[in-house]
Amino acid sequence: MASDMNDYFNKKKGSSGGSNNSDRGGNDFKAPKPPKIDFNFGGGKAGVIYFIAAIVVFLVLAKPFVIITEGERGILATNGKYEPQALLPGLHFIIPVIQKVYLVDTKVRIINYAERIDRTASGQEGLGVKPAITVLDKRGLPVAIELTVQYRLNAQFAAQTISNWGFSWEEKIINPVVRDIVRNVVGQYDAESLPTKRNTIADLIEVGIRTSVESQKNSPAILQSVQLREIVLPKKVKEQIERVQIAKQEVQRAEQEVQRAKQEALKRAAEAQGRANAVKIAAEGKASQIKIEAEATAQANKVISESLTEKLLQLEQIKVQGQFNEALRTNKDAKIFLTPGGSTPNIWVDMKNPQKQSSIK
């Protein structure tokens, strides 16, 4: 078996190198030639296509550019050092590996300080939710203040702000300032007076926060507004305020009743005065009427007296004498008395009844 195998390899050796034995100095083995590689990739056009494809792959993987949108700024870092000027919105090319761009938001942001934190709202873009600010009033009673603060990163100094404060600049600038100012302002008042001083406290808080933020170097943030939403008082203080309010309402109600009574009294007095004035006016009117009538009568009498003549009086006396004559026919016991001077009227007396007197014109 071993001899058969040796014969097989000897035949293979002889057949593979039979014609070149003299050239190789008696060596019967010939090494195979390596295959040729075509670096032309099948032609010039194909080479260009492959080159472009390689560049595209490089651009996709290395990404030597960045696009900045509105409401953002780019902080360019070269070998870990921030450039002093932020990149504006648009397309910017960078050197991969050596340079890197960090995007920062310059749109308006909101922090809500509230007792009840809404987890769904806290996940919204640009909206942060933090616990209400607990403050001790002038007497040491705890009070919770709920605020809404609107602000934004100052785009002009965005690079300096990130370089000085880092990307968590809000937690280092806005939040501590808000809490410090609120505690300083509210701590000056008693808890009972906070609801009545609400507008004053809100103004003081906004002015304090704005002054503190804008006084920072390079003005890192721009404060938009501060809104005081709620002043949460302790339960005992709220009950005491409610009692005071109820007492004030009772006093106001009593004062209103007094005013109403005064108005009613004034109304009745005015009515009585009106009636008195009416009676007075009526009396004055009646007196004036009587006076006018008397003056008219006097005037008439004057006219009559001036119109009387001696002959007219004699005529009247004759008429009266005729009437007495008629009366004497009926009562013969009557006596007639003539007034002095013979003026009328004459007087006659019934002798049957001396107490009865009569006057005839």
Distances (CA, A) of 103 to 106, 137, 178: 10, 42, 26
Of all residues in the chain, the percent with pLDDT exceeding 90 is 28
Residue 26 has pLDDT above 50, yes or no: no
Mark 289-312 as b/e (b = at least 16 C-beta within 10 Å). Answer: eeeeeeeeeeeeeeeeeeeeeeee
List pLDDT tens digits, range 33-49: 555 544 454 556 777 88
CATH number assigned to the domain covering 109-233: 3.30.479.30
Instruction: Please tell me the predicted confidence (pLDDT) of residue 1.
Output: 44
Sign of the torsion formed by the C-alpha atoms of 336, 339, 340 and 342:
negative
* 28 in Cβ contact with 52 (< 8 Å): no
The set of residues, in sequence order, having a beta carbon less than 8 Å from that of 64 and lying 6+ positions away, is 93, 94, 95, 96
Q: What is d(CA 232, CA 205) in angstroms, rounded to the nearest whole number? A: 16
| Secondary structure string (H, E, C) spanning 9-70 | HHHHHHHHCCCCCCCCCCCCCCCCCCCCCCCCCCCHHHHHHHHHHHHHHHHHHHCCEEEECC
Question: Tokens 């014969």 identify what position?
Answer: 7
Q: What is d(CA 183, CA 178) in angstroms, rounded to the nearest whole number? A: 9
Q: Which amino acid is at 170?
A: E
Q: Angle between the 169-186 and 198-214 helix axes, to the nearest 10 degrees?
A: 140
The DSSP code sequence of 283-344 is HHHHHHHHHHHHHHHHHHHHHHHHH--HHHHHHHHHHHHHHHHHHHHH-TT-EEEPPGGGPS
Residue 226 has pLDDT above 60, yes or no: yes
Residue range 240-254: average pLDDT?
78
Q: How confident is the model at residue 360 (pLDDT cuts 50, 70, 90)?
A: very low
Judged by average pLDDT, the poorest of 6-20, 57-71, 247-261 is 6-20
**For 271-275, which contacts have Cβ atoms below 8 Å and span 24 or more sequence positions?**
none
Instruction: Look at 156 and 26; give whichever has higher pLDDT.
Output: 156
Instruction: Please tell me the predicted confidence (pLDDT) of residue 22.
Output: 41
Residue 223 has pLDDT above 90, yes or no: yes
Residue 359 has pLDDT above 70, yes or no: no
Most confident of 13-17, 40-44, 210-214, 309-313: 210-214
Instruction: Please tell me the predicted confidence (pLDDT) of residue 33.
Output: 57
Distances (CA, A) of 351 to 175, 322, 329, 334, 354: 131, 20, 14, 5, 5
Residue range 134-161: average pLDDT?
91
Instruction: Please tell me the predicted confidence (pLDDT) of residue 72.
Output: 92
Q: How confident is the model at residue 350 (pLDDT cuts 50, 70, 90)?
A: low
The set of residues, in sequence order, having a beta carbon less than 8 Å from that of 285 and lying 6+ positions away, is none
Residue range 277-303: average pLDDT?
82
Q: What is d(CA 261, CA 265) in angstroms, rounded to the nearest whole number? A: 6
Instruction: Please tell me the predicted confidence (pLDDT) of residue 31.
Output: 53
Judged by average pLDDT, the poorest of 123-127, 185-189, 234-238, 356-360 is 356-360
List pLDDT tens digits, range 30-88: 555 555 544 454 556 777 887 788 777 776 676 788 899 998 999 999 988 988 899 99
What is the model's pTM? 0.53
Break the chain into its structural domains and give their ranges. 1-32, 45-100, 109-233, 235-307, 310-359
Residue 170 has pLDDT above 50, yes or no: yes
List pLDDT tens digits, range 197-218: 999 999 999 999 999 998 888 8
Most confident of 54-68, 233-247, 269-283: 269-283
Residue range 95-117: average pLDDT?
89
Q: How confident is the model at residue 113 (pLDDT cuts 50, 70, 90)?
A: very high
